[in-house]
């Protein structure tokens, strides 16, 4: 699992490419160069996507496929420290459609407590909270 980063046009912006050739722009937005993602935002994407792969995989194995799925992520940073790492991250797992709230919650629990490698890394320094919301109802 290797990655290459190249400086983009003399800015504090970098084009990152993985081994299969997917690339993205990451860095510090400056002037007209605002269409990038920040490194700390990528950590949140990494966490949410890592657990989402588990959640969808677990539910699909139970033949639960007929729902819309999204995750929103909120974060608080330790702004009085340098560097300002995350203090708390909240993941909202949102399901709409035909899915048992119990099974959805079980899939999220299994991911964050057992399978997700990114959460095992990030939970060393930040509290990871989550909510499971099925058809508008909160199963915290």
- At 23, list the tokens: 């690339």
Least distance CB 51 / a second copy (angstroms):
9
108 counts as binding a second copy under rule CB under 8 A: no
**How many C-alpha atoms does 72 have within 13 Å on its Cβ side?**
5
Nearest distance, CB of residue 87 and a second copy, angstroms: 12
Using CA atoms, how far apart are residues 108 and 104, in angstroms rounded to an integer?
6
Q: Name the nearest CA neighbour of 116 among 59, 69, 54.
A: 54
Query: Using CB under 8 A, which of 45, 100, 128, 131 touches a second copy?
Result: 45
| 77 close to 44: Cβ distance less than 8 angstroms | no
For 122, other C-beta atoms within 10 Å of its C-beta total 20
Query: Is 56 one of the binding residues for a second copy (CB under 8 A)?
Result: yes
33 near a second copy, rule: CB under 8 A? no
Query: Which residues form the interface with a second copy (CB under 8 A)?
Result: 1-7, 10, 12, 14, 16, 18, 20-22, 24-29, 34-50, 52-53, 56-57, 65, 68-75, 77, 82-86, 114-118, 120-122, 124-126
């Amino acid at each position: 699992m290797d990655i290459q980063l190249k400086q983009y046009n003399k800015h504090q912006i970098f084009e990152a490419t993985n081994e299969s050739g997917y690339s993205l722009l990451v860095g510090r937005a400056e002037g007209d160069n605002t269409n990038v993602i920040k490194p700390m935002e990528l950590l949140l994407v990494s966490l949410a996507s890592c657990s989402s792969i588990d959640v969808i995989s677990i539910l699909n194995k139970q033949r639960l496929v007929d729902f819309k799925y999204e995750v929103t992520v909120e974060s608080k940073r330790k702004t009085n420290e340098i560097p300002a790492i995350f203090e708390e991250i909240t993941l909202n797992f949102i399901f709409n459609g035909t899915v048992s709230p119990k099974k959805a919650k079980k899939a999220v629990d299994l991911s964050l407590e057992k399978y997700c490698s990114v959460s095992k890394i990030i939970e060393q320094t930040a509290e990871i909270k989550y909510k499971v919301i099925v058809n508008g109802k909160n199963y915290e």
